[in-house]
A and B are shown apart, each in its own frame.
Chain A
Amino acid sequence: MELIYTAAQAQFRTEVRDWLNANIPTSPLPSFDTEEGFTAHREWEKTLSEGDYGMVTWPQEYGGRACDLIEWLIFEEEYYRAGAPLRVNQNGIFLLGPTLMEYGTEAQKQRFISAMASGAEMWAQGWSEPGAGSDMAAIRCRADRDGDEFVINGQKIWSTRAVFADWVFCLLRTDPESSRHHGLSFILVPLDAPGVTVRPIPQLNGLPGFAEIFFDDVRVSDFNLIGEEGGGWAIAMATAGFERGLMLRSPARFQQASRRLVELYRQRQNDILDLSIEDSVVRCYMDAEAYALSTYQTASRLINNGAIGPESSCNKIFWSELDLRIHETAMSLLGAKAEIEPGSPDADQQLANWLDGFLFAQSGPIYAGTNEIQRNIIAERMLGMPRR
């Protein structure tokens, strides 16, 4: 155990910090759930990619820096410290990218990964259906093979950022005779293909962050099939592993939010009557630290040829509940002003950030597998409790 950075790691931190200071947008970008904001965020992804900071852990041939996981954590720490824009293509770079690295053919990697890293192609996720939410194996949307093509019919829902994205990665039923998690395939579909209809669904903040996607005889080449036909479930589980595991929510995000919470607390401390606030602030800071330490532990273990164990199912519950607590505490500290929407005479950037984060935090315990599903996974796979 050696909890200190090497000189090379410290040097990498300095390089990242200098580059970010020189390149991050001078004022905050509009929400990426607006057309204008989406375009601005796409531009930012291009800038990142040109600086070779698009996805630092990827191999150099795909525009990465072949960084190890400790360097990735350092990059993320500097990224959130600098207040750089959120990653609009996170479905692509954090979920599909690692999936392609593991299951894609060389030709598929060449075709999709660089375009993803540069922000040229933005990705949405197409898993949930009206009848398949937590019970994802109930998927009905079909992809019927026709020669070297698939013909897709059906519906997907709750596709984050599909309104403005270019592509969607789907889990589809390729064997009509199959049931549950058999006969499903992992297929990439361009959202501008004939027969695709995308209908926006406004989220809690009123912006069209979700979409429903309808497929009506949509034809895609079988080049877009990832892995074996009928072997999509295992691949989707691996993708979900990335989502719930290490990459999707890096600890720096919550450390930065809890640092801002402490600053807000210092400003407002003497105006607060709620006796629980002091305890909440302390807990938020401790928990953000604990999540960071836990991630360093996992990263170190992976670097030393260890594996992510079933205990990683604890991550998603921990960070989503932490995010809620940070923002609930901030709302309490802001008092009557907490509800003021941006654009109002009394609004300011600080209020806007906290309110936006508070609304978004409501979704954390739901997406990427609800926290109730996560608790079942912990009980059954980590603790070994009986399934039925």
Chain B
Amino acid sequence: MNFTFSDDQLLFRDTVRDLLSNEVTAERIRQRWDSDSGVDSAALQAMVDLGLTAALVPEEQGGLGLSAVDFILIAEECGRAALPEPIVDSCLVATPMLVDADRALEGSNSRLRELLEAVASGEQTVLCGPSINPYINFAHSADYLLLPHGNEVHLVATDAVQLELQTSVDLSRRLSKVSWQPRSETCIARGEIGADLWRSTLNRGALANAAQLLGLSEAMVARSVKFATDREQFGRPIGVNQAVKHLLADCAVKAEFAKPAIYRAAYTVAVAPTRADWSVSHAKASAGDAARAASRNCTQVHGAMGYTWECDLHIWMKRAWTLDREWGDAGFHKNRIHEWLLQPKALLGPQYTFGRRHMGDAANPITAV
């Protein structure tokens, strides 16, 4: 039992944090809003150079062979920076789906293997569009889309589908509705395998958003602490007032207890993504709760400034609003937990925090992570 991140994992996180704080400033995010693509190619290339696109690709396909646990802190940093590019969606959600599909097909689909190599090197990008989200963010920028047709998984070139652009309240997002016709040659998995792939993907998508929501919450609180320290009224900083302190302390408590739920979910997804429903829903529901509280309270701390276009807070706040509803909203995830709590066979109680399995248990052998 060890619930800590390794020094390597923390170092990777710090490196990404440094890169993002240089490359993804509020000013450059606003520049993206005015561009057609919404993408900052220099920032994107820097992230490819750092190995983000290769992170979850197996070493045999030129990747780093990392897991969701290795990437979860990176996703958190992408949230903290309010990164517009869909790095988390492609690296932590679509790429593992390709990897899982390749494993399920035992490497028989050479197209998948080649695509994984191109994804690792950053030459091509793939995004997922499952039915739980009506829109795909940045679909126009992807080379391929993974699309559902019942349980079937289709890998479709983006130029073979019709995209209808929608404007989001968060101008960093570039949403599209996808129209397409399933064809037998685009289908890469079906039946049980396809169902498992979509189930894992839903869990990875919700996990990815949970981690970003946590980063967004902490970023909003940090900005608000600074504002409350600098802004003076009645001859002293507004942050000396308990009413203001407590607004932000409440956000800190929510974020602090969303954290371990997110990290446990990342571990569960890394070990058994099809059996991670409950832990992922816990992570998503609590991170969404933290982000909604941060959005509201931080606007309040900023006063009238918080309601302006000029104040950068809304870059983070609007992202929080949108990611909270994507990959299943609070109701969806709480309902999954509710259904589980009503199952007579659910393992409840203090002795089952980590299930009932342990190392060296002959009756319940454990596969290595």
A residues engaging B (CB < 8 A)?
1-7, 9-10, 13, 70, 76-78, 80-81, 251-252, 255-256, 258-259, 262, 265-266, 269, 278-279, 281-283, 285-287, 289-294, 296-297, 299-301, 303-304, 306, 311, 314, 317-318, 372, 374-376, 378-380, 382-388
Contacts and interface: CB of A to CB of B under 8 A. Distances in A.
Contact of A3 (B6, B248, B264): B264
A388 B236 contact: yes
A81 B347 CA distance: 13
Contacts of A78: 350-351
Contact of B4 (A76, A262, A279, A300): A300
Nearest to B252: A378
A388 B240 CA distance: 5
Contacts of A13: 351
Contacts of A318: 253, 256-257
B281 to A, nearest CB: 9
Given A262-B341, A378-B249, A3 B354 contact: yes
Nearest to A7: B360
Contact of B261 (A255, A283, A286, A317): A286
Contacts of A290: 257-258, 260-261, 282, 286
B162 to A, nearest CB: 40
Interface in B207-264: 221, 225, 228-229, 236-237, 239-240, 242, 244-246, 248-250, 252-253, 256-261, 263-264
- Determine the main DSSP class of B at the interface with A: helix
B259 A294 contact: yes
A81 B341 CA distance: 18
Interface string B285-306: 1100000000000000000000
Contact of A297 (B260, B334, B338, B351): B260
B359 A306 contact: no
A262 B337 CA distance: 12
B42 interface: no
23 contacts: A3-B268, A4-B366, A9-B1, A10-B359, A10-B361, A78-B351, A258-B348, A262-B348, A266-B342, A285-B341, A285-B348, A286-B261, A290-B257, A291-B257, A294-B259, A296-B353, A297-B3, A374-B249, A376-B245, A376-B249, A385-B228, A388-B236, A388-B240
A77 B2 CA distance: 17
A177 B268 CA distance: 59
Given A286-B285, A300-B1, A375-B242, A382 B252 contact: yes
Contacts of B2: 1-3, 300, 303-304
A337 to B, nearest CB: 23
Contacts of B286: 286, 290
B351 A77 contact: yes
Given A294-B259, A385-B239, A386-B239, 16 more contacts: A1-B5, A3-B264, A9-B358, A81-B349, A259-B349, A278-B338, A282-B341, A285-B348, A287-B257, A289-B353, A290-B261, A299-B3, A301-B4, A317-B249, A379-B252, A384-B225
